[in-house]
Structure 1
Amino acid sequence: MKVNGVPVTPPDPDARLLDYLRDDLGLIGAKEGCGMGECGSCTVLMDGVPVCSCLVLVCQAEDADVTTVEGLRRTALQEAFVTGQAVQCGFCIAGMVVSASALLEEHPDPTDEQIRAGLEGNLCRCTGYGAIVRAVREAAR
């Protein structure tokens, strides 16, 4: 497995990917929210596809390229979240940014409907989705 481009050898293949990233690698951007794959706070990219790392075992990611929010270089997307006031408490933002990053890879000029669909499964309790959708749309420009 590679995490953010670096080959790693996890000590426990039966551990959850989220726990390995946070506890062993110190990559704390992905957070445990619900622990059931419902909130999106633990979203990472596995071979470019957003997944809830709380539902993935390390052994399932054995041959994968895993990208966390820490592995994304500072992008227009992240800037748009900040300048567009799409960040409040910050709990969900890592998952939102990771999911939006994958969306923009697939759809460089997405419609608002595509943005909403791309962010499905990522819950935000503070900011509200209007600012988040606007931030993704701005980053696409």
Structure 2
Amino acid sequence: MSEIGIYQQTILEHSKNPLNFKSLKTCTHQANGNNPLCGDKVEIFTNIKNDINDEICFQGTGCAISIASASILTKVLNKKSVQDSKNILENFIKMVENKEFNFDLLNNEEKTLLMTFSELQKFPMRSKCATMSWSTFNAALNRDNYNTEAKV
């Protein structure tokens, strides 16, 4: 199977069976994201304890790319420090936007998961589908305000 085929398979797997697809009744940080152009919506929840993302989960609706991206975000950023999470999310968005990026903070499995979205560089109209959950997570990290709306 080609590298592109493996990436497509990963997106399909995560969109059909997303990881951490639930809400948290109590959480320290939360934000909502909405892409009105395509209808994707996401709500990200996290509990930060001792500057570590102790638990990350999401709920939402949208295309396969949007749901898979949120699922992979929860897997990659869980148990990471807030600072490392911000670094990784900035570099993820840079990668999708075809800018210089660095995933040195990640292990090989995590790098492979994020690289799943590297093909979107060829389809800029779909980049917001992949980055919406990451921008929403960033909004959650930057605010302790419940029901914060992320701009995508």
Give the TM-score category using the shorter length. 0.3 to 0.5
More strand by share: 2
Q: Which TM-score applies when normalising by structure 2?
A: 0.38
Considering Cα pairs closer than 8 Å and 6+ residues apart, tell me whether 1 or 2 has the greater RCO. Answer: 2
